[in-house]
Amino acid sequence: MVKIPEIYAKSKIYLSLAGSGNPWDYFKPSSRFTLRALHDGYTVSEIQKLLHISEEELIEKINLLIDAHLLRKEEENYYPTFLIVNEIEAEKTYQHAKIFGRIIADELIKNWKELMDDFVNLEASQKFTIDKLSLVLIGSKLLDIGLLEALVKDGTLLITAPTRPSPDRPDAKYYFYMVEGKTEYLGKYGENETDLPWKNWTFVTFGQNIVNNEHNKPREKLEEKCSELLKQQQLNKPEDLAFELNIPILSKNDSLSWKETTKKIAKRILLKIKEQKEELLQFYNSLKASQYTSNTLGEFVCWYIHIAYAWAIDFLIEDKKIYMPNEKFDSLIFYTQGPQGLLVK
């Protein structure tokens, strides 16, 4: 009989968390196989045989996942409590999100003049062109953070992340999903943010973490340099860090002003997305995970929007509205007040 690890040997499975919690300690080497097998419809006795382990060992793995609220028992059956998507469904979702990516891009283009008028009013526009700042200001702050904030505040599609208390994190509350396939199925772009020693100031990089199936070395190198400079504790203000890293910085006033711009435009984009609500829900209901869980809609939307806004960024690059550097990322020092994105309430 073929072992489960052999069945999934060629699978590339990616896990992503958004929120506050720690499921990672509950994933022993075969736990993802256990979860994937339960998702695929194998019974506990079949999994035991396929893994070639004792019933006691399997139950131990299952109980760990139950402790983390990642698995539930119903009569004699076990079901994952979070979104699991195989490669076929992931590819289908990736292509479906392209439609929504175009909707997002078109709405932003419709608001482009107003967006540029607001940009021209920034002090930074006297030093930098929109090309230099577009990937972070539009890709990250508007289409990533701003759109997710709008979805969270609206609550229609991105329902509240489920509580998933575990023995070491009784306060845990997060979205969690397991996706099989290519790295872009998780979303091609993402923001990495580092809190700086000056209150409310952050160092941001945004773009691709993976380029040509390898880690983005220039991005990692810049983030490492930032970390080293902060450890030395020889900088007096965020402008000093920007100088050392040779990257732009937005003033406090500019940052807060752009925040208001992103909120305004993100709300309009959200209205266009909500016009397609029934289509989106119908697609979600076609996924297998929707059949055995009652709380994965939020996880699906969280995942789906990350793919859709990545498509939107690609369309905007094609339309010459966003400039993509050769290194496939850009950076900025930015002033931020309060929680952002999925953490906003």
296 pLDDT more than 80: yes
**CA-wise closest residue to 226 among 246, 209, 254, 206:** 246
CB 128, CB 121: distance < 8 Å: no
Q: What's the pLDDT score for residue 342?
A: 64
* Residue 220 in tokens: 């990692």
User: Which stretches within the chain are classed as H helix?
Assistant: 4-7, 31-39, 44-51, 55-67, 87-110, 112-120, 130-134, 147-154, 217-232, 238-245, 252-274, 277-285, 289-292, 297-318
Per the domain annotation, does 175 fall within a domain?
no
Residue 1: per-residue pLDDT: 64
Do both 49 and 195 map to the same domain? no
Q: Domain range spanning residue 325? A: 91-161+183-343
Q: What is the pLDDT of residue 325?
A: 96
At position 97, the amino acid (one-letter code) is A
Report the C-alpha gap between 200 and 337 in whole angstroms. 6
Least confident of 2-6, 70-74, 141-145, 216-220: 2-6
73 and 157 part of one domain: no
Q: Is the pLDDT of residue 344 over 60?
A: no
Please indicate, yes or no, if residue 190 is contained in any of the structural domains.
yes
Domains in the chain, number: 2
Kindly state whether residue 64 falls inside one of the protein's structural domains.
yes
Is 76's pLDDT higher than 90? no
**What is the rounded distance in angstroms from the CA atom of residue 216 to the CA atom of residue 334?**
22
Is residue 201 exposed (0-12), middle (13-18) or buried (19+ Cβ within 10 Å)? buried
Count of beta carbons in the 10 Å neighbourhood of residue 224? 10
Determine, yes or no, domain membership for 137.
yes
Q: Which residues contact 55 (CB under 8 A, 6 or more apart)?
A: 48
Other C-beta atoms lying within 10 Å of the C-beta of residue 239? 14
Is 170 part of a structural domain of the chain?
Answer: no
- pLDDT score of 174 more than 70: yes
- Say whether both 46 and 152 belong to one domain: no
Give a yes or no: residue 157 inside a domain.
yes
| CATH label of the domain that carries residue 80 | 1.10.10.10
pLDDT band at 340 (very low <50, low <70, confident <90, very high): low
Does 37 share its domain with 154?
Answer: no
Q: Same domain, yes or no, for 110 and 256?
A: yes
Phi, psi of 297, rounded to the nearest 5 degrees: -60, -45
Find all residues with CB under 8 Å of 311, minimum gap 6, and list them. Answer: 97, 98, 100, 101, 102, 104, 105
On average, the pLDDT of the chain sits at: 93
Per residue in 231-278, pLDDT (tens digit) is 998 999 999 999 999 999 999 999 999 999 999 999 999 999 999 999
